[in-house]
Amino acid sequence: MAAALQLPAARKFRSAQQIAREAGVEDRVTFEVAKADTYLARGYDLVCFFDCLHDMGRPVDAVRHAMKALDKDGTLMFIEPFARDRVEENINPIGRLYYAASTTMCCAHAISENGTHVLGAQAGQRRLEDVLKEAGLKSIRKAMETPFNLILEARL
């Protein structure tokens, strides 16, 4: 599988396998590379979205797929760039940096997918929760926030 990956992804894949081996957990964890809506739904305990939901043109579809992949007691975790819900609340050095990056990378990527959403890195908690609710999640909570990240937990 790793041979078919692009070089940086192949390195990360091999590194993850090596770290699992060194930690003595390789018999309990697996790694695979797949699109957000094509990986096998296997009854996972935890599905994580690391700094990516806001980049997706079809975030609702990705969340719905993740929901299908969860065990009945499973958890979804979303780590997204921190932003307040209103533009004027994000006028600070970090917010300005995130808006610049979002305009040139995050929004451009979502637009390139001809999808349903263009969230960008400054989506804010309310907008992210709207996406999760649209996907069908009912139990959503803010687990933590830092000056750089917002961490949401969601359950079926």
Same domain? For 28 and 11 the reply is yes
Residue 148 lies in domain: 37-155
CA distance 55 to 117: 9
pLDDT at 4: 46
Please determine, for residue 8, whether its predicted confidence score (pLDDT) is greater than 90.
Answer: no
131 touches 119 (CB < 8 A): yes
pTM: 0.86
Coil, strand, or helix at residue 55? helix
pLDDT tens-digit map of 56-97? 999 999 999 999 999 999 999 999 999 999 999 999 999 999
Same domain? For 74 and 11 the reply is no
Number of domains in the chain: 2
Cα-to-chain-centroid distance, residue 98: 16
Same domain? For 57 and 3 the reply is no
